[in-house]
Amino acid sequence: MQQTTMKNSTITFLGPSGTYSHLVANKRFAGNRMLPQDGILDVCAYVATHPQARGIVPIENSSGGTINETVDVLLDASQSIHIHEELSLHVQLALLGHKDHPIKRLYSHFVPLEHCAPWIARHLPSVHKQECESTAAAAALAAKDPEGAALCSRFLAKAFKLEQREFPVESSTPNITTFIVIGAKAQRLPRIRKTTLALRLPNRPGSLYRFLGTLQNENINLSRLVSRPIRGRRQEYAFLVDLDADAQSAPVQRALAAARIEATSLRICGSFPTHRTYQS
């Protein structure tokens, strides 16, 4: 797929530098200013106040599941955030450590630690595992610990003066992380593949069933359905829904017209293209 490029823009991402969000940002928007942020909310806040900027945040990992913080931002109607694109990365992890030192402590984000648990059990059975806020933070800790190692991106080896002890750290299932590119304003790029909706349904029997029926009636595939509790309202939920279709297409327009009758609120978070999976 031919990609629309940007130049002289700020691309802000979930940091610190060296995270997989940073890697994806460089692959998609090379040549632009890169600005790391401490958290997903910080990325969204920056984008909301800088209309020319774009943000990159993870929304789902094939091993760890949905990133609830990102979902909650999209469900919050007060946030001026729109999805522009969907990106994905095939994450291949490296074991970085210190040459000629035994590995007694292993640092990483909880997702790689869970994803690679069988490999760790086979190759590092007595290692102490320590969860970190990011794989880049894990590399920083390992760099200070002669008997420490990190499960992280191989590209962090040079920055932290670590040796690549194993690459790739194999797992029986692929580790794919999905990211979204966000902006303060709605934007349409060529070759729309998906539409994301944020909606609330009446708290009564059959409301979700009737909403799904509006999609089935128009032969629209639903590829993601995430429910999140509504704060302060017991046993009431908001839903983030991905449709494999363009919001401007006639079937989706008809489905949305019917869905709005069933929903208490419905908002389009973005209608956007998806890109090929990058390799790490």
| Residue 137 domain flag | yes
If asked whether residues 87 and 182 sit together in one domain, one would say yes
Q: Does the structure show a pLDDT above 70 at 4?
A: no
Q: Does the structure show a pLDDT above 90 at 234?
A: no
Overall average pLDDT of the 247-266 stretch: 96
Query: In the structure, what pLDDT confidence band is assigned to residue 29 with cuts at 50, 70 and 90?
Result: very high
If asked whether residues 64 and 183 sit together in one domain, one would say yes
**Phi, psi values for residue 278, rounded to 5°:** -80, 160
Provide the mean pLDDT of the chain: 93
Q: Give tens-digit pLDDT for 42-92.
A: 999 999 999 999 999 999 988 788 999 999 999 998 888 999 999 999 999
Concatenate the DSSP letters of all residues of 122-182 into one string: HH-TTPEEEE-SSHHHHHHHHHT-TTEEEEE-TTHHHHHT-EEEESS---SS--EEEEEEE
Helix axes 40-49, 68-75, angle to 10 degrees: 30
| Residue 3 domain flag | no
If asked whether residues 218 and 248 sit together in one domain, one would say yes
**Residues spanned by the domain of 17:** 10-91+175-188
Coil/strand/helix, residue 209: helix
If asked whether residues 85 and 215 sit together in one domain, one would say no
Percent of the chain residues topping a pLDDT of 70: 98
Query: In the structure, what pLDDT confidence band is assigned to residue 173 with cuts at 50, 70 and 90?
Result: confident
Overall average pLDDT of the 234-262 stretch: 94
Q: Give the separation between CA 29 and CA 9, rounded to whole angstroms.
A: 9
At 64 the pLDDT is: 80
Query: In the structure, what pLDDT confidence band is assigned to residue 127 with cuts at 50, 70 and 90?
Result: very high
Overall average pLDDT of the 187-208 stretch: 93
| Residue 2 domain flag | no
Write down the H helix ranges in the chain.
20-28, 40-49, 68-75, 110-115, 117-123, 135-143, 156-160, 207-216, 250-262
| Residue 200 domain flag | yes
If asked whether residues 85 and 17 sit together in one domain, one would say yes
At 280 the pLDDT is: 86
Query: In the structure, what pLDDT confidence band is assigned to residue 1 with cuts at 50, 70 and 90?
Result: very low
Edge-to-edge strands, sheet with 222-229: 222-229, 237-243, 194-200, 265-272
Q: What is the CATH number of the domain that holds 207?
A: 3.30.70.260
Q: Of the residues 128, 155, 188, which one is the last residue of a structural domain?
A: 188
Helix (H) / strand (E) element for 55: namely: strand 54-61
Query: In the structure, what pLDDT confidence band is assigned to residue 7 with cuts at 50, 70 and 90?
Result: low
* Nearest to 237, CA basis, from 191, 201, 278, 277: 201
Number of domains in the chain: 3
Q: Does the structure show a pLDDT above 50 at 2?
A: no
If asked whether residues 75 and 184 sit together in one domain, one would say yes
At 206 the pLDDT is: 93
| Residue 4 domain flag | no
| Residue 149 domain flag | yes
If asked whether residues 18 and 130 sit together in one domain, one would say no
Neighbours of 172 (CB within 10 A): 7
If asked whether residues 78 and 183 sit together in one domain, one would say yes
Overall average pLDDT of the 251-277 stretch: 96
| Residue 1 domain flag | no
Q: Which residue did the predictor score with more confidence, 268 or 204?
A: 268
If asked whether residues 250 and 202 sit together in one domain, one would say yes
If asked whether residues 202 and 140 sit together in one domain, one would say no
Q: What is the CATH number of the domain that holds 74?
A: 3.40.190.10
At 6 the pLDDT is: 64
| Residue 5 domain flag | no
Cβ neighbors of 128 (< 8 A, separation 6 or more) are 104, 105, 106
Whether the Cβ atoms of residue 148 and residue 107 lie closer than 8 Å to each other: yes
pTM above 0.85, yes or no: yes
